[in-house]
Amino acid sequence: MLANRILIRDALVKNPSSEAVVSGWIKQIKPLGKLIFITLRDRSGEIQLIAKKELDNFKVLSKVTRESSLVFKGNIQESKQKSGGNELEIKDFEILNQAETPLPIDVGAGTSNIDKRLDHRFLDTREEKINAIFKIRSKIYKLTTDFFDDNDFTNITTPKITSAGVESGAELFEMKYFNKKAYLSQSPQIYKQMFVAGGFERVYELAPVFRAENSNTTRHLTEFTGIDMEMGFIQSESDVMDVIEELFKFILNKLKKECKRELELLGVNPIVPKKIPRLSMKEVKEMLSEKGKSLLESDDLDSEAESIIGKIIKEKYNEEFVFVTNYPWEIRPFYHMKPEDDKNGTKSFDLIWNGVEIATGAQREHRYNILKEQAKEKGINLDEMESYAEIFKFGCPPHGGIGLGLDRMVQRLLNLDNVREAILLPRDPERLTP
């Protein structure tokens, strides 16, 4: 029967009185005397099936368990349900795999906690709303590559086993690499800059990033999917922000059309930015102070500050995004460029979406002598980073870029409470399986 299978979404609009074969998982089964009502689910949607007592193996069907996989042949008829569409009267069926009972989680019931659901993620994702999260995520991934390709960026694949990092050493996962020490990549930063200088000018990558942060929060992971881009021959960090603003306009406009059903299932109506506000760290801290949140000049924004500024931006600009610019030098990496008139600032920015930082970007320092001095200020000897230092000795152009977190992007778009909801199999300090 499977050879003639059609998807449920096609069966729902098929002409009544015609025959159809559908297959999927049993979401609900209700034997009621001479009738059995089944809600069947596949990757495209749900449909109601009805079996009458005259059906061969009626008793066998009545004992099928939830989440079993079956294939059904039957006649399409107009549904009497308020939602309309079609239903299918079963004429024949085959049990493909009977599910054991009890189920380890309550699929779709919303009563299992997130840790239990993650332990049995393949069952959890059968639920239509959970499944919708990852269809949207998949579409964001595709749209991101479409956007960068359309804007003349070259996709690169960079090593995830490295000899050193350019971020905080405390965030590196150390590993044994034959007879040497090696680390899991915490950022493709070196390689992005290398191949901007290598003649590609504009590069991007979507790939795993590893951070050894012993942090158990709703927004941190030890492995996440990074969206990284770098672009050369820029005038300032504003050029990078311009591209990212257009990226989000492109993604959100496309999602509203191409993931309409999934967004409706999740009750989300994305707001496409008209113009993302760009506020300096000084301006942001003044706004926060007015709301009773005081920060020192050298302080970064904590999660509370990001949440507050997100609400302020929504009220003042009717936007969900904000670029916070000119972060203090004290809390930024050595390779961020300083403004000519501000030795304590950087030509850097964060992008905050719905009260959570989802990206960090900057114009990089491309002048070797200045970069070497900045590294020294941070206690780093650039001469010991030979592969990195070499990039800036042979005609490296002005450049800048950004690193976005795909998982946080999905979380903020869909208003999920925990970033773990936005990744199939998260890794954090406590979770290494499945």
Which of 47, 82, 97 is the C-terminal boundary of a domain? 97
3-class secondary structure, 113: coil
Phi, psi of 10 (to 5 degrees): -80, -35
| Total count of domains within the chain | 2
Same domain, yes or no: 50 and 92 = yes
Q: Does residue 86 lie within any of the structural domains?
A: yes
Q: What is the pTM of this model?
A: 0.95
Per-residue pLDDT, 111: 82
Residue 111 lies inside a defined structural domain of this protein? no
210: number of Cβ within 10 Å: 22
Residue 110 placed within a domain: no
In a domain, 180, yes or no: yes
186 and 299 in a single domain? The answer is yes
Tell me whether residue 10 is in a domain. Answer: yes
Q: Which two tokens stand for residue 37?
A: 């009502």
Residues 147 and 91 in one domain: no
Helix extents (H) in 112-259? 114-119, 121-124, 128-150, 189-195, 237-258
Q: E-assigned strands of 53-201?
A: 69-78, 86-97, 154-155, 161-162, 173-177, 180-184
CATH number at residue 61: 2.40.50.140
Q: Do 277 and 138 have their domain in common?
A: yes
Instruction: Check residue 168 and give its pLDDT.
Output: 58
Alpha-carbon distance 434 to 431, whole Å?
8
Domain termination site, one of 97, 114, 142: 97
**Residue 105 belongs to a domain:** no
pLDDT at 169: 63
89 lies in a domain? yes
Q: Are residues 132 and 73 in the same domain?
A: no
Let me know if residue 55 belongs to a domain: yes
Which range marks the domain in which residue 26 is found?
2-97
Co-location of 325 and 418 in the same domain: yes
Segment 59-76, tens digit of pLDDT: 999 999 999 999 999 999
Is the domain of 89 the same as that of 194?
no
At 170 the pLDDT is 66
Are 240 and 349 members of one domain?
yes
Other Cβ atoms closer than 10 A to 45: 18
Q: Is the dihedral of CA 180, 181, 184, 185 positive or negative?
A: negative
pLDDT of residue 164: 81
Looking up residue 162, the CATH number of its domain turns out to be 3.30.930.10
Closest of 135, 107, 138, 136 to residue 120, by C-alpha: 107
Asked which of 50, 80, 97 is the last residue of a domain, the reply is 97
Pair 267, 358 in one domain: yes
Do 145 and 271 belong together in one domain? yes
pLDDT averaged over 10-residue windows placed end to end, the chain, 434 residues: 95 93 98 96 96 96 98 94 85 98 91 93 96 98 98 98 76 93 94 98 97 90 97 98 98 98 96 97 96 92 96 96 97 96 96 97 98 95 92 97 97 96 96 95
Give yes or no: residues 127 and 91 share one domain: no
pLDDT digits (tens, 9 = 90+) for 107-158: 987 788 999 999 999 999 999 999 999 999 999 999 999 999 999 999 999 9
Instruction: Please check whether residues 33 and 69 belong to one and the same domain.
Output: yes
